[in-house]
Amino acid sequence: MEAIIVTSEADLRHLIREIIREELKNFAADTRNEPIQPDEALMTRLEMAEFLKISVVTLRDWVNRGLPCIRNGRRVLFQKSEVLEAIKGHQPRQARHKKRSGEIPVKSYRKE
Cβ distance 79 to 72 under 8 Å? no
Give the pLDDT of the chain (112 residues) as one tens digit per residue.
788 888 899 999 999 999 998 888 877 776 665 554 556 789 999 999 999 999 999 999 999 999 999 998 889 999 999 999 898 877 666 655 555 555 555 444 445 5
Closest by Cα among 66, 75, 83 to 45 = 75
Which of 63, 60, 67, 71 has the alpha carbon at shortest distance from 90?
67
Residue 56 CB contacts under 8 Å (≥ 6 apart), including other chains? 45, 46, 49
Residue 82 lies in a domain: yes
Give the total number of structural domains in the chain: 1
First-to-final CA distance of the chain: 102
User: Would you say residue 47 lies in a domain?
Assistant: yes
Within a domain: residue 105? no
Domain range for 47: 42-88
Residue 51 lies in a domain: yes
Task: Tell whether 102 is covered by a domain.
Answer: no
Q: What is the spatial distance between Cα 90 and Cα 29, in angstroms, rounded to a whole number?
A: 38
